[in-house]
């Protein structure tokens, strides 16, 4: 994307982290030019380790997003990150991110023992962070929560809350209380974000109609515009690669 100036890499976690980590990723801006982008909601929260031409090394936790946000990839940016599934909040990090909805907070520069020079090698970074996270996983994970998230992610947000509740033997009211307290949004809102994200690969390939259990075409267009700020056709065109989540998807 953006010629050869922007480099993006992804790596999936080892099996022992798969309930908690969705991916590791890297973005590098090799140029001295800033690029304007739009960050789309993706159902993840992230811990980002980065530095750029103008900013010293720092660590940031990014909360769940529910709306598109304009941002800039600074010149000479080096950014390595861990994208988490929601179960990690309680059983790996032991934090609440409800107050970080559409927001962020700084973390200590020495977080997890990662330093600026650890960002020089993506594979080594992933290994070092993985080792640290494996040490942090709590035992005795609530089986209802584990099953709930398995169903949410495998269905890409397409299962109704009532169905999810019945399958895990946990009332909808209790599930929504848990989601609101821990993550700042109800379960249905989170599922809608996952369904939007699952639609991105279809949209990138020119399929501008619903394939993820939307009610109809109008509902599909409304939801895409809600989360991206534009209608599906404009999103698919992705002028200047500004929708970076879409640009990072593989071509089919």
Tens of pLDDT, residue by residue over 94-117, are: 887 889 999 999 999 999 999 999
Burial of 148 (0-12, 13-18, 19+ CB in 10 A): buried
* Confidence band for 85, pLDDT divided at 50, 70 and 90: very high
Report the CATH fold assignment for 143-236.
Arc Repressor Mutant, subunit A (1.10.10)
Over residues 193-214, the pLDDT tens digits come to: 999 999 999 898 888 876 767 8
| Rounded-to-integer distance, Cα 53 and Cα 51, Å | 7
Distances, alpha carbon 202 to alpha carbons 133, 210, 246, 247, in Å = 33, 9, 10, 13
pLDDT band for 1, please (50, 70, 90 cuts).
low
pLDDT at position 40 over 70: yes
78 near 28, Cβ under 8 Å? Answer: yes
The pTM of the full predicted model, rounded to 2 decimals, is 0.93
Same fold, 6-136 and 143-236: no
Largest CA distance in the chain: 54
In this model, does residue 215 exceed pLDDT 90? no
Instruction: Check the CA dihedral 15-17-19-23 and report its sign.
Output: negative
For the cut 80, the answer to whether the pLDDT of residue 183 exceeds it is: yes
- C-alpha 153/C-alpha 83 separation (Å) is 14
Tell me the CA distances in angstroms from 11 to 14, 50, 113, 122, 205, one per residue in order: 9, 17, 20, 9, 23
User: Pick from 36, 45, 82, 12: which is nearest to 193 by CA?
Assistant: 45
Phi and psi angles of residue 119, each rounded to the nearest 5 degrees, phi first = -85, 0
pLDDT > 70: percent of the chain = 97
Structural domain 6-136, CATH architecture: Sandwich (2.60)
Q: Quick check: 20 and 85 in contact, CB under 8 A? A: yes
Q: Which residues contact 81 (CB under 8 A, 6 or more apart)?
A: 24, 25, 26, 46, 47, 48, 49, 50
The residue extents of the domains of the chain are: 6-136, 143-236
Stretch 78-87: mean pLDDT: 97
């Amino acid at each position: 994307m953006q010629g050869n100036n922007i480099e993006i890499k992804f790596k999936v976690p080892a099996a022992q982290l798969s309930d908690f980590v969705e991916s590791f990723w890297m973005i590098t801006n090799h140029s001295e030019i800033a690029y304007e982008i739009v960050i789309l909601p993706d159902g993840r929260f992230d811990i980002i380790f980065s530095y750029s031409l103008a900013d010293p090394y720092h660590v940031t936790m990014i909360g769940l997003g529910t709306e598109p946000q304009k941002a800039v990839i600074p010149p000479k940016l080096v950014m390595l990150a861990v994208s988490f599934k929601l179960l990690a909040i309680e059983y790996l990090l032991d934090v609440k991110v409800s107050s970080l909805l559409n927001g962020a907070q700084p973390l200590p520069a020495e977080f997890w023992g990662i330093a600026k020079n650890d960002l020089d090698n993506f594979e080594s970074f992933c290994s070092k962070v993985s080792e640290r996270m494996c040490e942090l996983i709590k035992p005795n994970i609530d089986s209802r929560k584990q099953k709930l998230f398995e169903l949410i992610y495998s269905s890409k947000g397409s299962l109704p809350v009532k169905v999810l509740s019945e399958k895990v033997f946990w009332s909808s009211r209790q599930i929504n209380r848990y989601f609101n307290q821990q993550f700042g949004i109800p379960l249905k809102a989170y599922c809608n974000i996952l369904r939007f994200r699952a639609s991105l690969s279809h949209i990138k390939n020119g399929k501008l109609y619903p394939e993820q259990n939307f009610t109809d075409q109008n509902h599909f267009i409304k939801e895409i515009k809600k989360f991206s700020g534009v209608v599906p056709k404009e999103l698919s065109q992705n002028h200047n690669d500004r929708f970076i989540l879409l640009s990072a998807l593989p071509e089919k």
